[in-house]
Amino acid sequence: MAKSTLPQSPLIVHLIYRLDFGGLESLLVDCVNRIGPGQFRHAIICLTDYTSFSEKITQPEVDIYALHKPPGLALALHLTLWKLFRKLRPAILHTYNLATIEYAATARLAGVPAVLHAEHGRDMADMNGTNARHNLLRKHLALFIDRYVTVSKDLQQWLIQVVGIPVHKQQLIINGVDTDRFAPDRPASAGAESSPWSAQHVVIGTVGQIRNIKNHAGLIRTFGLILQQYPAYRNTLRLTIVGDGSLLPDLKQQVIEAGLLELVWLPGARSDIAQIMAGFAVFTLPSLAEGTPVALLEAMACGLPVVASQVGGIPEVITDGVNGTLVAAGDEAALAAAIMHYVSNPELAAAQGSAARTRVVEAYSQTHMIETYIRLYSELCHERNLPCAA
């Protein structure tokens, strides 16, 4: 790949575990595409690998590196990254979530002037963020990190109260989505690989990486519960779960064993999310933990009524009974009841879907998010006396 013709623009290196279909990854790509070389240049380092999702990068001259990290500590990777940082000479290293935070120290040793670490959410192994060893790592690495970015007030308070990160080292940057691309009344997906459902079907849908923390298995059980309680809906009600991950085969087996093979669509990762969402009647997110989920914002921007778990940053987005419905995480009976409340009340679904759209347009725009990141990157450059065109 050709080197940048604009060396005067500071280079930001984004360090991520894996570049694949997902909410965090979508935000990273949005930033790379929207923050051009006249302001900042970009490179992406993947600790493990990247997939065809990388083709969503439209900005020219963005180098992507895959380090193929093996499981475990992989201490030799620190030397590999040190050499790469010395080669690239970034102005800023932007790391994402726990898997990449330890390399903040490596970046400093390699002479990287500024380090920014973003917390977008937690995983199944530490849903509440109380793992003492992990939090000790986050706190001690504050010596090497200029700013901690959080995407929800819930995560921000956790960093302050549990981890012990000083307020002056933090910045809240709310996730934002493209409200032109994700909008009501878009045509549904069409073509040989489009949704198998027709206009006569009422589709319950969700989008997200197939991980335990997203609780897709619980959603499938909930769908089965709905069909038991409302057998008349079996001919019309359908479930779509869009996303990929190592647990996808397990989900498919669960669907088969539940006798729902003809009623549930599991297409894997898709690039036409806005078009698929256009066919949803209700969007649901039964996660066990979250930051500020991008898929939820996209669904709300599409004007969909949403049912989501009352966890993490979700209650900051949804006002229960106004622009969506909140249920306790893991309460499958409550999830089923909330979904069917919208299915059986289309006027309520339309009204709350409209309110959801308004909420996202007013508070979660992609433009505002991008502008905030540009200001933060520029601020870090100025603090380090680095030339900055932004």
State the pLDDT at residue 176: 97
The answer, yes or no, to whether residue 207 has pLDDT greater than 70, is yes
State the pLDDT at residue 1: 43
Tokens of 3: 């080197």
Tokens of 341: 């409340």
3-class DSSP state of 34: helix
What pLDDT band is residue 173 in, cutting at 50, 70 and 90?
A: very high
**How many CB atoms are located within 10 Å of the residue 54 CB?**
17
For residue 320, what is the DSSP state? B
**How many CB atoms are located within 10 Å of the residue 15 CB?**
28
What pLDDT band is residue 191 in, cutting at 50, 70 and 90?
A: very low
The answer, yes or no, to whether residue 335 has pLDDT greater than 90, is yes
State the pLDDT at residue 387: 83
State the pLDDT at residue 235: 96
State the pLDDT at residue 194: 72
**Strand pairing category for 202-207 and 237-242:** parallel
| 11 bridge partner residues | 41
Strands of the chain (E only): list them. Answer: 11-16, 41-46, 63-66, 92-96, 114-119, 147-150, 170-172, 202-207, 237-242, 264-268, 282-285, 306-309, 325-327
State the pLDDT at residue 192: 37
**Picking from 61-70, 242-251, 351-360, 380-389, which range would have the lowest pLDDT averaged per residue?**
380-389
User: What gap in Å lies between CA 101 and CA 15, rounded to an integer?
Assistant: 9
The answer, yes or no, to whether residue 274 has pLDDT greater than 70, is yes
Q: Write down all domains in the chain, each with its CATH number in brackets.
A: 11-176+366-383 (3.40.50.2000), 202-363 (3.40.50.2000)
Average of per-residue pLDDT across 184-205 = 78
The answer, yes or no, to whether residue 369 has pLDDT greater than 80, is yes
Average of per-residue pLDDT across 48-54 = 96
pTM confidence score:
0.92
Mean pLDDT of the chain: 94
What pLDDT band is residue 389 in, cutting at 50, 70 and 90?
A: low
Q: Vertex 303, ends 297 and 309: CA angle to 5°?
A: 50
Q: What is the residue-wise DSSP string for 208-253?
A: S---GGGTHHHHHHHHHHHHHH-GGGTTTEEEEEE---TTHHHHHH
State the pLDDT at residue 390: 60
The answer, yes or no, to whether residue 355 has pLDDT greater than 90, is yes
